[in-house]
Structure 1
Amino acid sequence: MKLSIYNWSGALLLLMLTLSGCLKDNSNKDVKPINEITISDTTAVAAVLQFDTLTVKPDIKESIPVGDKGLVYEWSIHQNDSEDAYPVYILDSTRYLHQSIRVKPGIYRLIYKVTVKASGVSYFKFFDLKVINRFSEGWLVMEDLAGKTDMTIILGTDTSFHHIFTELNKDYVLNNPLQVATTNHYGEKSVWMFGADNAIELEYTQMTKLTDYTSWFWETPAVFHPQKFRQINTGVYILINNGLLHARFAGGFPGDVKYLNTLPFPGGKGDDYYFSSYTGVGPQPYTDEKTPYTAFFYDTKSKGFVYLSGASLIPSLVAFSAPQAGGYFDMRNIGLDLLAMDQGNAPYLNNAIFKDNSNIYLYQIDANRSDPAIAKKLITGDAPELSTFSKMTSSRKLQQIYFLVNNNIHLYDIPSGKARVIKAIPAGEQVTYLQCTGNDVMVGTWNGTEGKLYRYKISPLGDFQDVKVFTGFGKIVSMTYKAA
């Protein structure tokens, strides 16, 4: 009996399993096929110049075509060859890429991401991209944008690239710009940027921040208000900070090279001096030139010049000797206010403009003569209109000086003492920068909203014979030429 019951139960179980296997499966009737994307491309390039526009037009094939309304696009870029963490930059959100590549030079991966809205599934295409430095040579123009620093480069082709400092140094702000300069120390090149209370060094090729002033000194100054930086020869940098002089001497010897503490004024006065920001340059040490006047400076307290001796590895400020019989003036005791000084038409010749209560004077100083005082002239005697000048720059080729008076540029001829207007600045524009570079005079102006740069070509007689105008700047405060 038990056996019969067992057999019947087994048969019943088998019948139920068989019947259940014959039922229709409706569990996947709501599953929808997804839009599968395939991305291909033949338009991408392997390399692009920094700040050039990159255009890529990939081909997208969809298994269920929905077009732009159903797809989301993203172009991004990140650096492959960086040892440090480097951010991913989002370039655009368009089907095709057409964007300026504003990153530092290097090896990058360009990423194209296409996302299907309906499914949320993303598809990728990767491109290898080399960004090539294009800023090897050109004019660096430092600008003030509402108290913040930015910079433009003007290439030899007269192509301008604006905002290169802020684009390449997104996480750094330099306030109240004062000066940009370049140096070449035995083949090691740098770009230096100075603000009212800070300063940084940029990597020469990539134009990105390397160091700031706190690492430049053996003892960082308690007050940092830079006035003037200059490389005065291959191995010597000088920095006038808050009226006091720091020097950096470097030769072929090993070890760290930094700025020395404040150099003391001769005669036991220590730090009791305050230098003007204008610096005259003499010959480089050890070049068989005539004098040890590596550089000279004007003390606004004693109203006289002293010089930096570069004839040893221990630099010092030294008093000039008494003038020779019949000398034009005493370098130690000028007794006037220094308004401006600029290199003249010879390497060590400097044109210095002084004033007393009612007149302005030209003092000419040749730092490669044992008695450097070579000429003195009353400017306002023959050119009284220059008594209210606001800016000056000297010709590098002729015995001439350019003065800015009431928004007019005057050409002053030194031998004759005569002056004449050669250029009127457009109404509404204020001159913020004036400098002769050799064959050109650079004039930066500001109209309250935009800066312009006028590059005037100089004729053989010193006149302006043609002009190139560059636009789109902030307020121009400084310029320097960056060589390759």
Structure 2
Amino acid sequence: MQSPFRYILTALAALTLGSSCKKDLGNYDYKTVGMPVIDTSGIGNPYYIERYSNLQIDPAIRYDGGDTKALKYQWLLYPYVVGSVSTPIEVKTISTQKTLDIPVIEKVGEYRVEMIATDTTNQLKVNMVFTVVVSVGIEYGVLVLHSQADSADVDFITTANAVPVAGITPKWLKNIYSSSTGSRMSGTPRFIGQERRSNTIQNWLMIGSSEHIARMNGTDFSLIREDRSMFRRADAVMDPQTFMLMGSGYSALINNKKLHVYTTTYEVDALFSAPVPGDYELAPYLAYGTSSSFVAAVYDQKYGKFIRPASITGSMIDFQAPAAGTTPAFDLRNIGKDMLYMDRGFTSYTHAFFKDRTGSGHWLYIANFNTFTDDGRLAISAKDMSTLPEIASAKFFQSSELGYMDLYATDRTIYAYDYQGTNTASVAFNGFPAGETITCMKIYKPRPNFNLSAVDGTILYVGTWNGTQGKVYELSLNGISGAIGATPLNVFEGLGRITDISAKARGAGTY
């Protein structure tokens, strides 16, 4: 039997021979295909940009023989690495538009940004790589904590009025908390504050809501630690109410009506221990003017008195009784009122604002906690505020450190209070548009005030809410008379409901 494969092979050979002899009569039109050209004239130099600022690159595209409308774009961002690395380099797509205009949220460092242009008709590609250096962007300014619904975010604002420092330009960085962490802080916002000591590496920011607490890096606002990692005990209750780096050098947190403290410049050791022991329930206020011998002076709302820790590891104790033979302005151990606010005022005294628990009486109690000896002479004066205009409607209080003047505010009006002379108050500012109500009021007090001493205490920031958006008003303030400029220096619109405003200072030395 003959194999069929011999016939198949013969047929294939004939086909091959026939095709090799056939003349190619095709009519072809060959042409040169153009390539898109990314023109970097004037924009090819390295880009130096502050973190959270917008990176803008708009290259011209030339496409001889092609259609630029057929091009699609992709922008990639990746870290610049020298040498080999053991882990994969993360490459992010940051835009698909021709013009790049996005906030840069990457940490401080050097990066490469690559533009890729692709012709969708033939898949031809060209690319161009740009050098981008991300630097520190939040050295000087103010931090604004604001909310929408049941979550919070932070804006950072620098103006020439607040920061008259060479090389610092005005800026407004929006929603930098969510940009840094990937989400807003849940819960009702409560406080934001700086924790900075000059000539040390301590440069942190603390943010608290009804559900969370977070420590952010003071140079680039990256998240350092949060929630229970802030505490030495895993069973810590999460109810942060206020925080402050005290004049005593101690960092103090009121959490769930209890006081927690630590003192260190090293972040890994900056953890809150168990609350200071004792039977007390604190008002959610702290005042900067406290000496190291007192750790922190706080107000026990439960028993209506000022108290302090015996030491950083001791229990909560009372202040000394009034000195024998003296007639004190008040007894620190027996106030019996509800605290409305507490702040540091003129001559580094602590100003505490109170309301009677029965009746309509309002008071300013002034004490000297900025001393090293509790000698029973810390009560300085008591001022009856009960007859001041609209004092029963006052919701916000601030104390000037430049003169004998305090401020209080209702929903719409700010009053300057002369507590040392006439014990009267007068309208300082009421120029807010109809429908806006005050939600926050803070005198600009950068701590430390290195490079900023000339403007320390001379600006008032006010947050308002009209039911739709929040605004920040920057107002000039005379810290001696209480006079406020009739025309705002700046107005920032489009924020959420503003809860807190804090100065952000660089301080002296490196960090």
Q: TM-score, normalised by structure 1?
A: 0.84
Contact 2:245–2:288 (CA under 8 A) maintained in structure 1? no
Counterpart code for 1:169: T
Cα separation, 2, equivalents of 1:16 and 1:456: 93
* 2:97 paired residue number: 93
* 1:210 paired residue number: 224
1:278 is paired with a residue of what secondary structure? coil
Cα separation, 2, equivalents of 1:426 and 1:37: 53
> CA, structure 1 residues 16+402, in 2 after alignment: closer, same or farther (shift >3 Å)?
closer
Tell me by how many angstroms 1:442 deviates.
1.4
* 2:418 paired residue number: 413
| Structure 1: 5+ residue stretches without partners | 1-12, 266-271, 286-291
Tell me by how many angstroms 1:233 deviates.
4.0
* 1:3 paired residue number: none
Among 258, 282, 288, the residue aligned to 1:244: 258
* 2:454 paired residue number: none
Report which stretch shifted further, 361-370 or 432-441: 361-370
2:296 is paired with a residue of what secondary structure? strand
Among 486, 497, 502, the residue aligned to 1:475: 497
Aligned: 1:463 with 2:483: yes
Deviations 1:235-264 (A, max 9, x none): 421111111111113379x98342111111
Cα separation, 1, equivalents of 2:171 and 2:327: 53
* 2:451 paired residue number: none
* 2:213 paired residue number: 199
> CA, structure 1 residues 27+260, in 2 after alignment: closer, same or farther (shift >3 Å)?
farther
Cα separation, 1, equivalents of 2:295 and 2:114: 55
Greater Rg by CA: 1
Pairing 1:60-459 to 2, within 5 Å after superposition: 60-62=62-64, 65-80=65-80, 86=90, 88-94=92-98, 97-104=99-106, 105-157=108-160, 158-171=170-183, 173-185=185-197, 186-233=200-247, 235-250=249-264, 256-265=269-278, 272-285=279-292, 292-310=293-311, 314-324=313-323, 325-358=326-359, 359-369=361-371, 370=375, 371-380=377-386, 382-383=387-388, 385-415=390-420, 416-424=422-430, 425-437=432-444, 438-459=457-478
* 1:55 paired residue number: 57
Cα separation, 2, equivalents of 1:133 and 1:457: 28
1:279 is paired with a residue of what secondary structure? coil
Cα separation, 1, equivalents of 2:215 and 2:337: 36
Deviations 1:32-65 (A, max 9, x none): 9765444452323302323144233144345xx2
> CA, structure 1 residues 16+245, in 2 after alignment: closer, same or farther (shift >3 Å)?
closer
Contact 1:44–1:55 (CA under 8 A) maintained in structure 2? no
Contact 1:153–1:161 (CA under 8 A) maintained in structure 2? yes
Contact 1:137–1:156 (CA under 8 A) maintained in structure 2? no
Contact 1:184–1:234 (CA under 8 A) maintained in structure 2? no
> CA, structure 1 residues 136+45, in 2 after alignment: closer, same or farther (shift >3 Å)?
farther
Deviations 1:370-412 (A, max 9, x none): 32111112211x4253133122111221212211135211111
Tell me by how many angstroms 1:26 deviates.
6.9
Tell me by how many angstroms 1:25 deviates.
4.2
Tell me by how many angstroms 1:85 deviates.
5.9
Contact 1:202–1:210 (CA under 8 A) maintained in structure 2? yes
Higher strand share: 1
Cα separation, 2, equivalents of 1:280 and 1:391: 15
Report which stretch shifted further, 365-374 or 195-204: 365-374
Greater relative contact order (Cα < 8 A, sep 6+): 2
> CA, structure 1 residues 174+17, in 2 after alignment: closer, same or farther (shift >3 Å)?
closer
Cα separation, 2, equivalents of 1:393 and 1:183: 20
Counterpart code for 1:435: K
Contact 2:189–2:209 (CA under 8 A) maintained in structure 1? yes
1:275 is paired with a residue of what secondary structure? coil
Cα separation, 2, equivalents of 1:209 and 1:385: 42
Contact 2:398–2:406 (CA under 8 A) maintained in structure 1? yes
Deviations 1:54-86 (A, max 9, x none): 233144345xx2322322222232333597864
> CA, structure 1 residues 176+343, in 2 after alignment: closer, same or farther (shift >3 Å)?
same
Cα separation, 1, equivalents of 2:196 and 2:57: 37
Counterpart code for 2:494: G
Contact 2:232–2:273 (CA under 8 A) maintained in structure 1? yes
Contact 2:321–2:333 (CA under 8 A) maintained in structure 1? yes
2:285 is paired with a residue of what secondary structure? strand
1:467 is paired with a residue of what secondary structure? coil
Paired residue total? 452
Cα separation, 2, equivalents of 1:211 and 1:27: 72
Counterpart code for 2:202: E
* 1:5 paired residue number: none
Report which stretch shifted further, 25-34 or 371-380: 25-34
Cα separation, 1, equivalents of 2:80 and 2:505: 28
Contact 2:212–2:226 (CA under 8 A) maintained in structure 1? yes
Matched residues, percent identical? 24
2:177 is paired with a residue of what secondary structure? helix
Tell me by how many angstroms 1:211 deviates.
1.0
Tell me by how many angstroms 1:128 deviates.
2.1
Counterpart code for 1:331: L
| Structure 2: 5+ residue stretches without partners | 1-11, 161-169, 445-456, 507-511
Cα separation, 2, equivalents of 1:294 and 1:14: 101
Contact 2:459–2:474 (CA under 8 A) maintained in structure 1? yes
Contact 1:102–1:168 (CA under 8 A) maintained in structure 2? no
Cα separation, 1, equivalents of 2:481 and 2:74: 58
Tell me by how many angstroms 1:209 deviates.
1.4
Q: TM-score, normalised by structure 2?
A: 0.80
> CA, structure 1 residues 361+32, in 2 after alignment: closer, same or farther (shift >3 Å)?
same
Aligned alpha-carbon RMSD (Å)? 3.0
2:365 is paired with a residue of what secondary structure? strand
Tell me by how many angstroms 1:345 deviates.
1.1
